[in-house]
Amino acid sequence: MADISQPIEKLKSQIDMENLPKHIAIIMDGNGRWAKKRFLPRNFGHQEGMERVIEIVSAASTLGIKYLSLYAFSTENWKRPMEEVQGLMKILVQYIMRELDKLHENNVKVQIMGDISKLPEFARKEVMKTIEKTSQNTGMILNIGLNYGGRDEIIFGIKNLLNDIEMGKINIEDLNSKNFSDYLYTKGQPDPDLLIRPSGELRLSNFMLYQIAYTEFWLSDVLWPDFTEKHLMLSIIDYQKRNRRFGGI
């Protein structure tokens, strides 16, 4: 594996720009442990995690990644203490307030995966503003998972599909694994080529279950608040050495 201690330019020179992953998905994990190690409340970890979101979104877009999917808040995260949930919503709003103009200038289009009708009003308003403002942008698509769960997404897709069947827009015999993808939140997008999960956990945690069928995994012990542009580059270099067979030989 390439070495993280190398200067950033050296790492960058090892990336084959002709063979970039089109779509990168990230399960941003380890914020709580990062804070605990420093005897800080968990939300300090999320706050630092937001700084990494800013860094990684910018790095991915500059590199020329076309789609970036970030898991920010799962359908299960509501079970956390109220102050942590509130804190996360405030951090989301803070992120939008700080970054929306920059995202727009950089031609990033923000889309949401998940049911945002359940978000508190103050957060939903900002999220809607972000979607609208960036809707015509043609650069990187940034999918943010908010109140997102992979199983719920499949059910959302089935409901959309049944609706289309009822309206006569599709015949059930014409349904296949490709066109079913267009009933999901990532409609029109290729499946992730690379899934990054920091923090040492070895599970999918209900993230993009349908889309991730042939995705390459890149796992690391580093906690999300310590995940830098260099880690992103390492993951891409490593990905480019993989031999993707999609079930063939």
- All residues at 6 or more sequence positions from 157 whose CB lies less than 8 Å from its CB, including other chains: 180, 183, 184, 210
Q: Which is nearer to ligand FPP, 190 or 200 (CB)?
A: 200
Q: Least distance (Å) from ligand FPP to the CB of residue 167?
A: 34
Task: Return the residue nearest ligand FPP (CB atom).
Answer: 32
Residue 194 and residue 218 in contact, taking contact as beta carbons nearer than 8 Å: yes
Residue 110 makes contact with ligand FPP by CB under 6 A: no
Q: Are the beta carbons of 65 and 236 closer than 8 angstroms?
A: no
> In 3-state terms, what secondary structure has residue 107?
coil
CB of 235 to ligand FPP, least distance (A): 17
Helix H or strand E encompassing 71? strand 67-74
Catalytic residue (one of 16, 19, 43, 77)? 77
Q: Kindly state the smallest distance separating residue 78's Cβ from ligand FPP, in Å.
A: 11
Which positions from 8 through 67 interact with ligand FPP, judged by CB under 6 A? 28-33, 46, 49-50, 53
Q: Is 124 in the site for ligand FPP (CB under 6 A)?
A: no
From the CB of 74, what's the least distance to ligand FPP, in Å? 7
Q: Catalytic residue, from 3, 19, 29, 193: name it.
A: 29
Is the dihedral angle over the CA atoms 158, 160, 164, 169 positive or is it negative? Answer: negative
DSSP-assigned states of every residue in 171-221 = -GGG--HHHHGGGSTTTT-PPPSEEEE-TT----TTSSTTTTTTPEEEE-S
Q: Please, are residues 89 and 123 in contact by the beta-carbon 8 Å criterion?
A: yes
CB nearer ligand FPP, residue 75 or residue 183: 75
Q: Judged by CB under 6 A, does residue 70 bind ligand FPP?
A: yes
Which residue among 25, 92, 119, 234 contacts ligand FPP (CB under 6 A)? 92
Residues 126-155 that bind ligand FPP (CB under 6 A): 144
Burial class, 65, CB count within 10 angstroms (exposed 0-12 / middle 13-18 / buried 19+): buried
When the beta carbons of 23 and 46 are compared against ligand FPP, the nearer one is 46
Our answer to whether residue 77 is catalytic in this structure is yes
Distance of alpha carbon 228 from alpha carbon 115, whole angstroms: 29
Q: For residue 84, count other CB atoms closer than 10 A to its CB.
A: 16
Catalytic residues: 29, 77
Residue ranges binding ligand FPP (CB under 6 A) = 28-33, 46, 49-50, 53, 70, 72, 77, 88, 91-92, 95, 144, 224
